[in-house]
Amino acid sequence: MYGYRDDERTTGALPDHRIDLIERGPFLAPRCSCGWFGPARRSRPLARDEAATHVLHGAGHHP
């Protein structure tokens, strides 16, 4: 896999919603164990916020 797991995780995640933050060059892309993924962002706080919103609101998933 290209990139690596960021050691920062979204706290309070349920077992079926484990978030990995993948770095790809200057971008950070959130990905959830349920299949959801967010767009790669240059803004690390925005990528983390989108992942947290997914976990808190069960924003569904898309493959």
Query: Domain ranges in the chain?
Result: 1-63
pLDDT digits (tens, 9 = 90+) for 20-63: 999 999 999 999 999 999 999 999 999 999 999 998 887 555 44
- Single-letter amino acid, residue 27: F
Phi-psi label, residue 35: left if phi above 0, alpha if psi -120 to 50, beta otherwise: left
pLDDT of residue 57: 83
pLDDT of residue 3: 39
pLDDT above 70 for 2 = no
